[in-house]
Structure 1
Amino acid sequence: MRTVILGGGESGVGAALLAKKKGMEVFLSDMGSIRENYRQLLIQNDIDFEEGMHTYEKILNADWIVKSPGVPKKADIILEINQKGIRLSSEIEFASEFTDSKIIAVTGSNGKTTTTSLIYHILKNDGLKVGLGGNIGKSFAKQVAEENHDYYVLEVSSFQLDDIQNFRPYISLLLNLSKDHLDQYNYDYEEYALAKFRITENQENDNFFIYNKDDEMSRNLLEKLEIKAKMLPFSTSETLAEGAYADEDRIFIQLHEEFSLKIEELALMGKHNVANSMAASIAGKLLNISNESIRNSLITFQAVEHRLELVSEINGVQYINDSKATNVNATYYALESMKKPTVWIVGGVDKGNDYTEIEELVKRKVKAIVCLGLDNQKIIDFFKDKKQAIYDTSSMEEAVAVCRNIAEKGDTVLLSPCCASFDLFENYEDRGKKFKEEVLKK
């Protein structure tokens, strides 16, 4: 079988290694340049590859094509592949065909990384053999090729779900839905939401689907869709007989028996993380992990880098790195959890953002807006009549310097950009790292 991999990053090279191990003829193609460590892996494993181009005749003679999530689905090569009817899969689809391990897959517009990492922590803390992959950690395919885990916890994006055929997790989680990446889904919110729901489309009645009962779009679609998996809801607004819910003080997990924990004991801060902690706890209970072990994990978990990460407190000002907030809804959660007057750093590559969703929170919580991007006009135009203090900056150094001047003792400086990072940075990690470096400069 001839297998072609599009994209030479973590997921693409992982898929190439797995294909090679399974005795396939492998060719990898990347339109950009391949990083040196990945290039060396391909050479060491005698895998044929090209970079800086796509040679169509070498790609379109494949039996199976594996696409990295970074390759746009509207790219010319993808249109050609679809026209020819060649099987096109994401790395998670490809790798899942070669493992019998139980897969716990997490999707949603926000909180995916945190919840995936928390479930991984719960399983690992209980002594289970577990791998972490998908959008975070090591390539899922590479782990299937080289490691032997009983469980895989995967963070899965809508882009990866676009390219599945048979992917069937043992437990799937859909945390929430909000308008994100609409540029890739014809600016149609329902089309994007349905892409997320594909996480459960191949599940059968011996599988589980954990969902957010408070999420309006999820509720609407569940009325139309036929879900075969056993459905388990979580809610922060109503009491549930099965699943999980929260009141003002505690979370309650209702599965087999009741288990509860004080919210103030949770390692994660913010109302959205109460929901994430409940979703992760349901998954833990489904895998027969004891209440005591889950409790211990929820208390000891350390937050994900670039997600509401406290960088430092300097001269009485807290600096928080939420660079991973690349859409308005993620920033909504960040602002909602702010307890002090906030100097807010926002901006980057706008993905069709609608700032009305956070307008009220900005009025209540934000004392000054510091725009960080090459083109900040849309943000300035939206907030100029609502906030006096708006600053226009085009480098991290400049943005942090402005924040230092404005912020007073007892304030918080929050980097929560609402936008992608590609105008000034390599990715959101690079943006978060540069923020931390500037904050910590003496």
Structure 2
Amino acid sequence: MRLVILGGGESGIGTAILGKKKGYEVFVSDFGKIKGNYKEVLIINGIAWEEERHTEDLIFNADVVMKSPGIPDKSPIVKKLLEKGIPVISEIEFAAPFTDATIIGITGSNGKTTTTMLTHHLLKSAGLNVGLGGNIGKSFAWQIADNKYDSYVLELSSFQLDGIMNFKPHIAIITNISPDHLDRYDYKYENYIDAKFRITMNQTEDDFLIYDADDEAINDWFKTHSTKAKLIPFSLIKTFSEGAYIKNNKMEVKINQEEFTMDTEHIALEGKHNMKNAMAATSVAKLMQIRKATIRESLSNFQGVEHRLEKVLKIHNVQYINDSKATNVNATFFALDSMNTPTVWIVGGVDKGNDYNELMSLVREKVKAIICLGVDNKKIIDAFGNVVDMMIEVTNMNDAVKMAQRLSEKGDTVLLSPACASFDLFENYEDRGIQFKQAVKSL
């Protein structure tokens, strides 16, 4: 069997290692450059590879092709493969049959990284032999090749779910759905929603789907679609006989005739959206029969996720917050919603089809100045130019942070929450967040 891998990043290299171990003839092809450390891994393992091109003769003889999530279905090479009837799948689809571990799959437009990390933290603290992968950390396929975990917590993007046929998690979570990556879905929101719900398409009556019952897009989907999985909703406003909710400042989780309660003030994560992430993760912990005391302790000592509403420093009584991971409007909505002080907001980057109107009332209420950090800021200026007193454009992080310091006064917050992708000025959102933290520390 010939396995061709498009993309020599973390997921591509992990799939190559697993494929080789399982007896496939493996070839890795990357249209860009492959990082030095990944090349070394390929060479050590005797895996054939090429970079800065796709040689069609070496690709079209594949029995199966694994495509990295960053490569769109519209790319010419993928189109040709599909025309030839060669299956193009994601790493998750390729790797899953090689493990009998319990899989917990987490998707959503926002909150999926926090929910994934928190779920992993809950299970690991309980002593479970559990791996963490998917969209974060070490490749799922690589872990299956190297380790023997009893369960995996996987963060799954819509791109990874686009490439599945038979993959099914035992427990699936959809944290929420809001418009994102619409450039990859023909600018049709319903295509993106359907992509997220692929997480449950192969689930059976023995599996579980945990979801946000306050989410409009999710509720609309359920009006015309169904899943065989057992449904476990969570909500800030409704209550359930089976599910999770907040009532009188207590989180209550009822699953399998068992009840778990905890005062929300003892949960380490702050903000309404994080209460939802906590309810989703706790629902998994209850399904995995983790002890109540362990769940309480884990929820109260969880450190949060880097680049997600991360408090950096307080300088002259101004709090600097790094929310670089907010790459869409909905994520920034959560960030602004949790601000309790006048805010200098650093925003901008590569717009993925954003509608800034959703932020209008929060910007009016909380934002005193806007710093646009992007190559093209026209949409942001058009949206908020008349709403805030002060609007400034910059093209690097140092200028953004220095300007924010000038515009802020005691008791304010400086918030980096870009609502956009980072590729115009930065390598990725991590690079953007790290540059922000360095700039703040050198003030």
TM range (shorter): over 0.9
CA deviation after TM superposition for structure 1 residue 346, in Å: 0.1
1:354 correspondence with 2:358: no
For 1:438 and 1:388, the matched residues in 2 are separated by 25
- Over residues 362-400 of structure 1, what are the superposed CA-to-partner deviations in whole Å (9 max), with x where a residue is unaligned? 110111111101111110111111112111111101100
One-letter amino acid of the structure 1 residue matched with residue 144 of structure 2: V
1:13 correspondence with 2:7: no
Aligned to 2:148: 148
For 2:127 and 2:294, the matched residues in 1 are separated by 10
For 2:116 and 2:232, the matched residues in 1 are separated by 17
Aligned to 2:215: 215
One-letter amino acid of the structure 2 residue matched with residue 134 of structure 1: G
Alignment: residue pair count: 442
Aligned to 1:59: 59
CA deviation after TM superposition for structure 1 residue 20, in Å: 0.3
Aligned to 1:186: 186
CA deviation after TM superposition for structure 1 residue 49, in Å: 0.2
Listed as ranges, the matches of 1:265-280 within 5 Å are 265-280=266-281
CA deviation after TM superposition for structure 1 residue 86, in Å: 0.8
1:2 correspondence with 2:7: no
For 1:300 and 1:85, the matched residues in 2 are separated by 50
One-letter amino acid of the structure 2 residue matched with residue 285 of structure 1: K
1:165 correspondence with 2:165: yes
- The range that moved more, 294-303 or 245-254, is 245-254
User: How high is the TM-score relative to the length of structure 1?
Assistant: 0.99
Aligned to 2:129: 129
Unaligned runs of 5+ in 2: none
One-letter amino acid of the structure 2 residue matched with residue 235 of structure 1: S
Aligned to 2:317: 316
RMSD of Structure 2 on Structure 1 (CA): 0.7
Aligned to 1:249: 249
Aligned with 1:179: secondary structure? coil
CA deviation after TM superposition for structure 1 residue 111, in Å: 0.3
Aligned with 1:97: secondary structure? helix
CA deviation after TM superposition for structure 1 residue 292, in Å: 1.1
1:112 correspondence with 2:112: yes
- Over residues 93-149 of structure 1, what are the superposed CA-to-partner deviations in whole Å (9 max), with x where a residue is unaligned? 111011110000000000010000000000100000000000001000000000000
Aligned with 1:349: secondary structure? coil
CA deviation after TM superposition for structure 1 residue 322, in Å: 0.3
Aligned to 1:427: 428
For 1:347 and 1:63, the matched residues in 2 are separated by 42
For 1:245 and 1:338, the matched residues in 2 are separated by 23
- Over residues 168-210 of structure 1, what are the superposed CA-to-partner deviations in whole Å (9 max), with x where a residue is unaligned? 1010000100000111111111110010000000001111110
For 1:306 and 1:118, the matched residues in 2 are separated by 15
- Over residues 46-99 of structure 1, what are the superposed CA-to-partner deviations in whole Å (9 max), with x where a residue is unaligned? 000000000111111100100110111110001001101111110011110111
Aligned to 2:384: 383
For 1:318 and 1:385, the matched residues in 2 are separated by 26
1:45 correspondence with 2:53: no
Aligned to 2:294: 293
Aligned to 1:260: 261
For 2:248 and 2:442, the matched residues in 1 are separated by 40
Aligned with 2:98: secondary structure? coil
For 1:14 and 1:86, the matched residues in 2 are separated by 21
Aligned to 1:84: 84
For 2:424 and 2:227, the matched residues in 1 are separated by 40
For 1:416 and 1:261, the matched residues in 2 are separated by 30
- The range that moved more, 256-265 or 344-353, is 256-265
CA deviation after TM superposition for structure 1 residue 247, in Å: 2.5
For 1:375 and 1:191, the matched residues in 2 are separated by 27
Superposed structure 1 runs of 4+ greater than 2 Å apart: none
Q: What is the identity percentage for the equivalent residue pairs of Structure 1 and Structure 2?
A: 58
Aligned to 1:174: 174
CA deviation after TM superposition for structure 1 residue 248, in Å: 4.6
Unaligned runs of 5+ in 1: none
For 2:205 and 2:432, the matched residues in 1 are separated by 43
For 2:116 and 2:64, the matched residues in 1 are separated by 29
Aligned to 1:412: 413
For 2:226 and 2:361, the matched residues in 1 are separated by 37
For 1:64 and 1:138, the matched residues in 2 are separated by 23
For 1:247 and 1:313, the matched residues in 2 are separated by 33
For 2:78 and 2:250, the matched residues in 1 are separated by 48
For 2:151 and 2:174, the matched residues in 1 are separated by 19
One-letter amino acid of the structure 1 residue matched with residue 162 of structure 2: D
For 1:51 and 1:362, the matched residues in 2 are separated by 45
For 2:2 and 2:288, the matched residues in 1 are separated by 37
For 2:246 and 2:94, the matched residues in 1 are separated by 38
Aligned with 2:99: secondary structure? coil
For 2:119 and 2:338, the matched residues in 1 are separated by 22
User: How high is the TM-score relative to the length of structure 2?
Assistant: 0.99
One-letter amino acid of the structure 2 residue matched with residue 305 of structure 1: E
Listed as ranges, the matches of 1:31-42 within 5 Å are 31-42=31-42
CA deviation after TM superposition for structure 1 residue 226, in Å: 2.2
